[in-house]
Amino acid sequence: MSKRPVVLVVMDGIGISDNTLGNAVKNAYKPTLDELWETCPHTQLRAHGLAVGLPTDGDMGNSEVGHNALGCGQIYSQGAKLVNESIESGDMFETETWHALVDNCKNGVMHFLGLLSDGNVHSHIDHLKALLKEAKKDGVKEVRIHALLDGRDVPETSALLYVEDIEHYMAELNDDTFHACIASGGGRMNITMDRYEANWPMVEKGWHTHVLGEGRTFASAAEAIETYRKESGVVDQDLPPFVIAKDGKPVGTINDGDSVILFNFRGDRAQEISLAFDRDDFDKFDRVRRPKVMYAGMLQYDADLNIPNNFLTYPPKIKYTLSEQLVKHHIRQYAISETQKYGHVTYFWNGNRSEKFDEKLEDFVEIKSDVVPFEQRPWMKAAEITDILTAAIESGNYDFLRTNFPNGDMVGHTGDYEATKIGVEAVDLVLKRIKKSVDAVNGIMLVTADHGNADEMYEKPKKEGAPLKAKTSHTLNKVPFIVYGADVELKDDENLGLSNVAATVADLLEIEPDEHWNESIIKK
């Protein structure tokens, strides 16, 4: 093989399944992807569970751990697994940060803010229970929970199950010395959990709800959920904000002398609310009142940018990334996506590092995402990304180019099957254009995905004839890996995963894979 430019296309959320019901990938019109699969060397990769550093093979993958694995060629303990280990060993509660949080609110309140579910993508309810138990043990007297409702990584109308679970747990802990209750909440795609600065008003709405206690009031979280469902039929992730009040007053505003812990472990949707608490020079919206609190994250969500200042569990220290190895060999690199996944082809790809390894050898391009419901624009910014990517390919200025098309994931998360099919078809259209540009420079194109999503758009019915319910979470399915433009033979190993891609890229660029990486997918 002569040295030729390599283009890696990540079709976010496009997994492999033989099932036809609700399979927006299999049922989409995608002649280019089908032709590549039929005529090019291809295999399937594991993109969930142990293959990407998660606790068990029952844990669905996600874009963050997927791009970590793609970009570093190794498997690191990730998010939930790191937190599990820290809680089980007790290390979390021996940190200076935990002791300082407890001491800070001796005469105030400890607040826990985060996604209330067992989806294990952003958070886990068991982590919250461990924090509650330890807070009581260490003498905290008052605790308030600000519950973001999921319905995205778990069934779309399951919020009441988690609310009942945590309220039962708190009732067992509550006594004359300790009192915990839910203070506020709302759907994760309505308030607080924006990412990549795509929609700061979401975060502002969350600030007013959690911190200031402003908004529609209810006697309980269950009452809020049931009322909103009856009024609008909206699913959990889109539920409007609510504030729990007693005797006409919010039960859990955040005030001077309180401590606040964001118990999400995944970083992308945790950074903006963290900045609102941490930064003196914050200017994204008017905070109205900024309480003097000690704030901490479950992890540090961005070590380079120090977000947040305080955290309970250290993230994996990812070394020996593909980008770093390519820089050593003076390989010119290019990364592009729209806002929703820009951080994945840059920050997560480079091992949770915001900065480049070499300013001259790495170019990053962000296309601003539309701030609209994704089912209304299922094509998203695929065409705009491709306009610029194809020009970069044909420029001859780069040896390795990577991109992410978010459609299969972001539209898939809406639960809209027809829109998701259109999203998949939009990606197929641009694959044809990229293929043409790759041909023009005698290049090589790799096509893969970071996890599944669009491949299962309905929950499996519990009994025959039951009405179909939308599935909005990721899947446990494998993802495709296709090599176009290179005469190679690929391994067909059940254990191949996303972490095997880095060495494969190195092989195609004719450089030595790093000794720490997992093996190449190419047979030697």
Lowest mean pLDDT among 284-288, 352-356, 397-401, 420-424: 352-356
Q: Please, which pLDDT band fits residue 315 given cuts at 50, 70 and 90? A: low
pLDDT in tens, 295-310: 999 998 876 578 999 9
Q: Quick check: 333 pLDDT over 60?
A: yes
Tell me 110's DSSP state: E
Q: Quick check: 425 pLDDT over 80?
A: yes
Sorted by sequence, the CB contacts under 8 Å of residue 480 that are 6+ apart come out as: 11, 14, 16, 37, 42, 44, 45, 447, 448, 449
Q: Quick check: 218 pLDDT over 70?
A: yes
Q: Are 337 and 406 spatial neighbours (Cβ–Cβ below 8 Å)?
A: yes
State the Cα–Cα distance between residues 164 and 253, nearest whole angstrom. 22
Lowest mean pLDDT among 70-74, 304-308, 371-375: 304-308
Q: Phi then psi for 161, rounded to 5 degrees?
A: -60, -45
pLDDT of residue 2: 46
State the Cα–Cα distance between residues 81 and 316, nearest whole angstrom. 10
- The pTM of this model reads 0.77
pLDDT in tens, 384-399: 999 999 999 999 999 9
Q: What percent of the chain has pLDDT over 70?
A: 99
pLDDT in tens, 139-161: 999 999 999 999 999 999 999 99
* Cβ neighbours around 89 below 10 Å, total: 10
pLDDT of residue 304: 57
Q: Please, which pLDDT band fits residue 105 given cuts at 50, 70 and 90? A: very high
pLDDT of residue 14: 98
Q: Which CATH class, in words, describes the domain spanning 80-313?
A: alpha beta
Q: Quick check: 325 pLDDT over 90?
A: yes
pLDDT of residue 354: 85
Looking at residues 73-90, what average pLDDT do you find? Answer: 91
pLDDT greater at residue 81 or residue 286: 286
pLDDT of residue 1: 37
Domain ranges of the chain: 6-78+318-508, 80-313
pLDDT in tens, 430-465: 999 999 999 999 999 999 999 999 999 998 877 787
Positions annotated as catalytic residues are 63
Residue 461 preceded by cis peptide, ω within 30: no
Q: Which CATH class, in words, describes the domain spanning 6-78+318-508?
A: alpha beta
